[in-house]
Amino acid sequence: MKKKVKILITENEVIIAQCLKMELESEGYEVCNYVATGEEAIIKAKEENPDIILMDINLSGFIDGIDAAKTITNSQKIPIIFMTGYNEIAIFERAQKINPVAYLEKPVEIYDIEPIIKSIFK
């Protein structure tokens, strides 16, 4: 049996997180759940060891998604897909230093995410 791809959603907008979770699960992915802060993302990544992380850049808490992704990727080799509502070059350049598999501007839909996930786990 083929292993389901396990996804961690880090998103501080509950409605967006819930919608992504439902859509991803309906496509057959396993979703660890979602967290709203960078601090929670770091903890959950260690606990759950997801195959990929959907990481919002603007999060609740003291660290943003870029810093959380940096901390996670320093100890775990988990692909990151950044999602953001910001269209600023400085944020984009900062995020690129983490070497994400993608950088998507919101609104992000399942048809934006799924081809990226499939290309990583074919």
43-47-68 Cα angle (round to 5): 30
92: its two tokens = 């984009």
Q: Domain 6-120: state its class.
A: alpha beta
pTM of the shown model? 0.95
Spatial CB neighbours of 83, under 8 Å, sequence gap ≥ 6: 11, 54, 55, 56, 57, 104, 105, 106, 108
What one-character DSSP code corresponds to residue 7? E
Sign of the torsion formed by the C-alpha atoms of 105, 110, 115 and 120: positive
Domain residue extents for the chain: 6-120
**Predicted local distance difference test score (pLDDT) of residue 1:** 42
**Predicted local distance difference test score (pLDDT) of residue 2:** 61
Q: What is the mean pLDDT of each run of 10 residues along the chain (122 residues)?
A: 85 95 95 95 97 97 97 97 93 96 94 95 86
**Predicted local distance difference test score (pLDDT) of residue 114:** 94
In angstroms, the CA 50 to CA 9 distance is 10
